[in-house]
Amino acid sequence: MLAAGILLTIVGDDPWWTGLVALCVLLASIIPWCVTSLMLDIARYADGEDTVGTVTKVVADEDMGPDSNPFYDITVSAELAGGEIIRRTTRQSERTEPRPGQRIRFLHTTRDPDDLKDILFIEFVDEVVRRRGEGQS
């Protein structure tokens, strides 16, 4: 639609503002889609368990633009009440590279130990790297 509006503006007898209207219509449809997509993710995890886990693996995505933050595929392991251990993976764009040992807070809806995609990233709990055995009594 945007291309058609620009083409008609260049070769047709339509007013100059036709392309601008097409651009506004495009933006008016993209913004609500982005907002509802975010709201859907939040609603999907509304009844999820809030869990703190530890980053076990970080893989940097090398395909990025010069002006963007790199993306990292982060694998998280967390121990639930009852001794169950779950693993999850998330893809985040961070300014500083996450490191194994960092703690991460996330929501999940199942207790399936290998449902890797069941995660809603919330935040890094601390910036201090914790290694196994440190800080535990």
State the average pLDDT over residues 54-65: 85
Q: What is the mean pLDDT of the chain?
A: 82
Contact 52, 103 (CB under 8 A): yes
- Give the confidence band of 137 by pLDDT, cuts at 50, 70, 90: very low
For 8, 11, 15, the CA distances from 55, given in Å and listed in that order, are 53, 57, 57
Q: How many CB atoms lie within 10 A of CB 80?
A: 14
**pLDDT tens-digit map of 1-13:** 556 656 665 666 7
Return the CATH number of the domain spanning residue range 49-124.
Answer: 2.40.50
Q: How many CB atoms lie within 10 A of CB 98?
A: 20
Please provide the DSSP assignment of 21-57 as one string: HHHHHHHHHHHHHHHHHHHHHHHHTTTPEEEEEEEEE
Indicate if the pLDDT at residue 76 is higher than 90.
yes
High-pLDDT (> 90) share of the chain, %: 26
- In this predicted structure, what is the pLDDT of residue 16? 73
Flag the least confident range among 16-25, 69-78, 95-104.
16-25
Domain segments of the chain: what residues? 2-44, 49-124
Nearest to 126 by CA among 48, 45, 49, 55: 55
Flag the least confident range among 23-27, 65-69, 84-88, 118-122.
65-69
Q: In this structure, what are the phi and psi dihedrals at residue 115, rounded to the nearest 5 degrees? A: -85, 80
CA 80-38-47 angle, to 5 degrees, is 35
- In this predicted structure, what is the pLDDT of residue 74? 93
- In this predicted structure, what is the pLDDT of residue 53? 94
- Give the confidence band of 34 by pLDDT, cuts at 50, 70, 90: confident
More confident of the two residues 65 and 79: 79
